[in-house]
């Protein structure tokens, strides 16, 4: 039986951990946690629901989940360092990436599952053919107000309840966990990774290194489906310090490079891994 979220236990865990969250705004049902968080405009307020009816994913995709079957949460995160006078502290392109990293770290810590990332922030589970278990949408309100980070993690869905064949849930991978534990673990990792990004310097470099280590896209043969223009193909060789995917294409010379090779960077797009043995989709 799917139980409603135990909000007091989540609130207590966040306070006990000394995290920067400003409380939990829970609604039994919402069209979109991102829309509510953006409307409330309260930094670090955790907006969550048992039933998200009209959530949105990247590239305007819908994200709807059955009642009490997933973790659906949004938080307004600041993007300016203290005393920075409305200056963005780090490269904002990294916010979706370290959010995906926080999800992956939380799932791995709570369930013990083998979790990987596909650029920019798809969270994949090896136990179900590297299918996607999470949707993430980040929306910048303004430099002064911050970015709304929305996350939906599939916890208890059956195969029939998932919207696409490439999706999975923790239950389908044999992991049966409480949504409270998963939500608390995710929010803990999100605050930690955000703090590293906001601090910059070696702290931000540590977060970038952790992301790159978890990202299966690096080293894979890929097709990049861009918001505009034809798909691009090649080998993903890096994620640069702006959070962009670096793809190398063309024919290599005797040295391994040569005039026929080119490198392009992509700030947005859907990636398909096509190297034999890598996951598809």
pLDDT tens for each residue of 221-238: 999 998 888 999 999 999
Element (H, E) at 95: helix 95-111
N-terminal to C-terminal alpha carbon distance within the chain: 32
* Candidate from 25-39, 71-85, 102-116, 126-140 with smallest mean pLDDT: 71-85
- What are the residues facing 212 on neighbouring strands? none
What's the average model confidence in pLDDT over 28-40?
Answer: 96
pLDDT in tens, 151-197: 999 999 999 999 899 999 999 999 999 999 999 999 999 999 999 99
State the average pLDDT for the chain.
90
What confidence tens digit (pLDDT) does each residue in 91-102 have? 889 999 999 999
Q: What is the pTM of this model?
A: 0.91
The pLDDT of residue 120:
95
Nearest-Å Rg of the Cα atoms of the chain is 19
Cβ neighbours around 231 below 10 Å, total: 12
Query: Residue 247: what pLDDT?
Result: 97
Give the confidence band of 256 by pLDDT, cuts at 50, 70, 90. Answer: low
Taking Cα atoms as reference points, which of 4, 2, 10 lies closest to residue 185? 10
């Amino acid at each position: 039986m799917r139980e409603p979220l135990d909000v007091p236990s989540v609130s207590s865990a966040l306070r006990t951990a000394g995290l920067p969250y400003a409380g939990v705004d829970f609604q039994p049902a919402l069209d979109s946690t991102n829309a509510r968080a953006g409307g409330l405009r309260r930094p670090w307020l955790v907006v969550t629901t048992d039933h998200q009816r009209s959530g949105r994913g990247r590239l305007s995709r819908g994200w709807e989940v059955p009642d009490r079957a997933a973790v659906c949460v949004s938080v307004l995160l600041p993007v300016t360092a203290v005393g920075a006078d409305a200056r963005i502290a780090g490269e904002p392109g990294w916010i979706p990436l370290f959010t995906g990293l926080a999800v992956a770290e939380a799932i791995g810590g709570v369930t013990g599952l083998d979790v990987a990332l596909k650029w920019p922030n798809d969270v994949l589970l090896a136990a179900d053919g590297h299918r996607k278990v999470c949707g993430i949408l980040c929306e910048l309100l303004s430099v002064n107000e911050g970015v709304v980070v929305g996350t939906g993690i599939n916890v208890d869905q059956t195969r029939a309840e998932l919207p696409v064949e490439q999706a999975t849930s923790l239950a389908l991978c044999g992991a049966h966990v409480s949504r409270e534990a998963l939500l608390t673990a995710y929010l803990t990792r999100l605050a930690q990774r955000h703090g590293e990004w906001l601090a910059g310097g070696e702290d931000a470099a540590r977060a970038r290194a952790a992301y790159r280590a978890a990202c299966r896209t690096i080293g894979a043969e890929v097709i990049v489906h861009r918001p505009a223009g034809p798909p691009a193909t090649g080998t993903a060789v890096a994620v640069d310090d702006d959070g962009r995917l670096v793809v190398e294409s063309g024919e290599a010379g005797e040295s391994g490079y040569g005039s026929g090779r080119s490198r392009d960077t992509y700030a947005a797009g859907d990636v398909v891994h096509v190297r034999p043995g890598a996951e598809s989709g």
